Amino acid sequence: MIRKFFSDGIPSFFNDYDTGAPFTRCTFCDGGLATKSKYAIEKMINQNIVLQSREIVYEYALCWDCATTMGSEISDDSKEAIQGLYNEHRETVMRKLDYLHSTEKYSLESWLERCSLTGKEIRLCGEFSVSGIVEGGNLVYEQSPIVVSDEFMYKLQQVLSKETKEGFDGLRDKIMDGSPSIEDLVFGPVPGLM
């Protein structure tokens, strides 16, 4: 059974990196998030394991209306392949969720230690993403926050159709304002909630 716990507000980890303040607008439709009952935040992080440093490659806030629209644009073949890949890793996800809920570890750090899907320790990842869902101004600890390791991103990249990859490329370009320099940092599509 999936349990839901609401944090007291949104941890600062999910704030806009540039401003240090919570996101106020959807990155895609520019709608105000204060009027939305539910939205998502995702951050893609590049990590230098040797230097023990991290850099945010991109981040965005996404209202639930935009998330629904974008989800409907994924090809049927990709949806089926993604579902199959998630099903292969379902046991890891459920074990992690059960442990974190049963021990009531509702600190963000506890949820971010390992990939939610592979169990790989984040400290060993060259890059990873973190996604969270916000409801009523609070972070939801349910199936989120979800951490996706570089290992799972690679697996995801292998199962997506060409049209879905192109759609994700367009999405990434919108987030990055078309910056070509980012191509070397991000080898996969948006890996999180979509």
Q: Which two tokens stand for residue 84?
A: 């199959």
127-135 vs 146-149, strand pairing mode? antiparallel
Locate all alpha helices (DSSP H) within the chain, ordered by sequence: 64-72, 76-88, 90-102, 108-111, 150-159, 162-176
Residues 6 or more apart whose CB falls under 8 angstroms from that of 49 comprise 123, 124, 125, 126
What is d(CA 91, CA 87) in angstroms, rounded to the nearest whole number? 8
Q: How far apart are the first and last CA of the chain?
A: 22
User: Omega into 145 within 30° of 0, i.e. cis?
Assistant: yes
56 residue type, one letter: I
What is d(CA 12, CA 136) in angstroms, rounded to the nearest whole number? 16
What is d(CA 151, CA 129) in angstroms, rounded to the nearest whole number? 11
Q: Which two tokens stand for residue 186?
A: 């991000």
Tens-digit pLDDT profile for residues 114-163: 999 999 999 999 999 999 999 999 999 988 899 999 999 888 888 877 77
The pLDDT score that the predictor gives to residue 76 is 84
- Burial, 115: exposed, middle or buried (Cβ in 10 Å; 0-12, 13-18, 19+)? buried
Q: Which of 5-9, 20-24, 145-149 has the lowest mean pLDDT?
A: 5-9
What is d(CA 183, CA 92) in angstroms, rounded to the nearest whole number? 30
Element spanning 146, H or E:
strand 146-149
Q: Which of 44-48, 89-93, 165-169 has the lowest mean pLDDT?
A: 165-169
* Residue 48 confidence (pLDDT) above 90: no
* Ranges of each domain in the chain: 5-184
* Residue 86 confidence (pLDDT) above 80: yes
- Chain mean pLDDT for the chain: 83
